[in-house]
A and B are shown apart, each in its own frame.
Chain A
Amino acid sequence: MPDMTKPEWAAQKTYDENRAFSKTKATRPSLTPDEEKRPFAKYYYDEIPQPDPVHYATMDEPMDPADAFYPEDINRLLDLPALEAGVEIGWCNLPNGAGYIANRIHYPEFTADMVDWWFAWHPLEDLRYRIWYPPQHAGIMLSPIDRARILDDSVPDREKNWGVVHNVTENCDNGYENIDIAFRSPADMGFDLEKFGEVAATMAGGMGWSVSVDKDDESITAPAIMCHMLYDAPEGGLIHRTRFWMGYRFNEEAKPELCLPPGVSVPVEAVQGLARHNVKEYTRWREFLPRIYAELGPGMYC
């Protein structure tokens, strides 16, 4: 029986409590006295690094959709020469209305173990998620069964999130939303596993459903497929390639399916907003993950 007084277990809220509390989270309240005592609270007060201006400005205008690809072709993320010859940073609406985002960033000091640890470690408490990008990350919650999996020592860090849902509250430049991100294994993302093992260092990906924290009867709950791929960089560290396909979900047969009504496109503001948010949050991640991993990794408890 786990020690339920430990913060990693005591953080558990019920589904309806968390949904109701998300409106408070979205106000980004000051840290509670208990949160201030956590060993990672100091990261909340870091000066947040700003994105490289040239990189950020790439998200000012849409890219040519002809340079994008669809989630059915996700194995193109394993074709490095083609990726390097194509457009690696940008966003657009695809001809079918879906939103597409591509991003690439180099992390000179990263290892795959750090990445796997982070994606398992951070959903355990609101503050762990907030310190990632304090200006726009408001909170996170796991279900009791998912929490038990994350805290199960017998599950490798790389696999902890497979099948787990992160219930996050986040602002992707268009107001605060509750986003339920269901993480998947590389196989369930549709990757050719043999090639994946040859090319990729690690991956975090899945499918999200997002809706405003102020949801009402007319609110749209929007799906997106998300894939963060990490590759060993020739110059050291890791290269991170992100893809989002907004408007797509995985169906029960694990096939990507466009969920937009005919003639409807994902709003440009939503695509560009997520693209810009992605650059900002991963600029911050690049700078602070090696520090926090050195201090608190590789365990789940602290």
Chain B
Amino acid sequence: MPIKLMAASRRRPGLTRAEYFRYIEHYHGTVARLERFKIEKYIQNHVIDGAFGVLSDADGHKNKVADRDAVVELHFDSFRDMLATLEPEGVTTSRANQDGKFFADEPTNIIVMAEETELPVAKPKPDFNPGLGEPGNGALKVMQFIMRRPDVFPQDFHRLWRQAHDEALAASPYANDMFRKIVVSKRSRVNDNDAAARAHFKMVDPPVYDLVVSFILDSMEQVGAFRQYFDAVTASALEFADWSESFFLYVRQVRIIDDAPPKE
């Protein structure tokens, strides 16, 4: 899929998590299906848990928690299709755009326009079917938002992350055994012209994340595999990421629009 728009948001004041999840899945999701425009695929990721920064961050660090409740992933065949959906021709404001204020704390949205690459894993299928999640796809996804250090060139950031990732996986036998799929979402430079997305998602001065890595595991029971990997990758001697400004989320995937869902 050539490009996707990821938006990590938190719920608006006054909503419980249950109300928020019900709203975005059943109401907002329905709006998106009715008003699909050029969306090729739409996945909602409902946050179960997560963490911001690293244990060594001082008490005074401004980010205490990973305050995100969902990450939506909107896939498009092209950048033009993305724009045609965010700013549909002949429509002043789309229903999806108008609907955001009823569930999201819009100024704090974080977006990443990204291109996906899948990395190889040692064991794409479990030894037995745990009966959880979708066919051919595990039940738990971990989404790691990694911020580039400002002194590091973007091209080196991606190279150094890949080296650190490979070394971390090699040092993490449980993770190596349990990651069923790894998807790298690399921020595209088209993201530099994100005025339409900022208007759609009503963001104010959003932080920039150059990389989001998604890990698929069978179930929450194996999430310790990610923690093993996380400890290894953040301990890397390679200096490329601002781990204090990075965060990860444990999420449950909800397919809103998908004409070709995964098969066994």
Contacts and interface: CB of A to CB of B under 8 A. Distances in A.
Contact of A182 (B79, B155, B192): B155
B87 interface: yes
Contact of B195 (A167, A180, A218): A218
Interface stretch (A22-30, A100-108, A138-146): A138-146
B64 interface: no
Interface string A1-18: 000000000000011110
Contact of B156 (A145, A218, A221, A257): A145
A145 B78 contact: no
Interface in A180-209: 180, 182, 209
B78 A257 contact: yes
A17 B83 CA distance: 33
A259 B116 contact: no
B153 interface: yes
B193 A251 contact: no
A249 B190 contact: yes
Contacts of A257: 2, 78-79
Nearest to A263: B89
Given A221-B192, A257-B2, A262-B83, A252 B153 contact: no
Interface string B105-144: 0000000000111000000000000000000000000000
Interface residues of B, number: 28
Interface of B: 2-3, 78-80, 83-84, 87, 89, 115-117, 150-156, 159-160, 186, 189-190, 192-193, 195-196
B151 A15 contact: yes
A258 interface: yes
Contacts of B87: 261
A211 interface: yes
A237 B80 CA distance: 43
A165 B190 contact: no
B242 to A, nearest CB: 12
A223 interface: yes
